[in-house]
Amino acid sequence: MSNIVITGSTRGLGLAFAEKFLKLGDNVVISSRNKNLVERITQILQQKYPNQVEGIVADVSKYEDVEKLADYAISKFRYIDIWMNNAGMAPTSLKEFHELNPEKIQATIDTNILGTLYGTQIAISKMLRKGGKIYNLEGFGSNGDVRKGMQVYGTTKNSIAYITKALSREYKKTNVKICSIQPGMAVTNLIIGEPGTKFDKSAYWVFNVISDTTENIAEKLVPMMKSNTKGNKVLKYTSTLKTIWKFFTSWRFKDRFFDSEGNLKIQKIEDKILQE
């Protein structure tokens, strides 16, 4: 049994990872800046997994909130084995760069970069004595790929790879292992936008081919996170070769997650849990 802290874990990938850890018998502290979601999701998960779940409101762009999150986790479970910097945001996946709201650009940078730096720094300080593992979530742009509408998000995720590499080397001689996760493209709000948002019809099929559900991603990656003993390691959900093969057999994925109008056909994990 391990003690897990996951930022941004009231929906999407973070929530899927949290529930997978819980199913494996681990203790999990979930968090996000949305007070109502934290309270509701925590309540539901506590009913399903008694004595394993705690929740606290935390905005990762605020150092004091991240510090409070770590202290809260330790007060409930005594120590932290795995810290996952998952919280992330994108200003939009549709607008062009010159149309972006400067405040949303700032919020994306603060959440994705500062949030990861704050979380990693605080987690290291809590883990130096006993040891532990820190996982930073990469995303589109971390390997240098470029796509219209993802300039800010891609820039922040490109920095995650550097942050992880630099800090894993700095703490190589300690018992704190710093790694990153490449989850691939998950069907979350980061790619589907806010409720009611539809894709360009010419692009929807791509998401059917390369995307996967948050549950499937967590199902594969959580056991890898638990068993991993090395620092500076990148845990990948899929490989480049598998992705290329998917495009060669793209007919198999027609309308898998989105119909020809770009409408989402499946239910997101947060909606499933909130209906329980």
Tokens of 255: 């309308």
- CB burial of 8-44 (b: ≥16 within 10 Å; e: otherwise) equals bbbbbbbbbbbbbbbeeebbbbbbbbeeebbebbbee
Query: Are 23 and 201 in contact, with CB atoms under 8 Å apart?
Result: no
Tokens coding 197: 């948002």
Which ranges constitute the DSSP H helices of the chain? 12-23, 35-48, 63-77, 102-109, 115-127, 151-170, 189-192, 204-210, 214-227, 240-248, 269-274
153 catalytic residue (yes or no): yes
- Sort 51 into a burial class: Cβ within 10 Å, 0-12 / 13-18 / 19+: exposed
Please enumerate in sequence order all residues whose Cβ is within 8 A of that of 244, keeping only pairs 6 or more positions apart, or say none. Answer: none
Residue 239 CA neighbour count, 13 Å, CB half: 3
Whole-number Å distance between alpha carbons of 176 and 87: 21
8-state DSSP, 112: I
The amino acid occupying position 4 is I
The closest alpha carbon to 211, from 251, 184, 235, belongs to 184
Q: Which of 153, 171, 204, 237 is catalytic?
A: 153
Catalytic machinery residues? 153
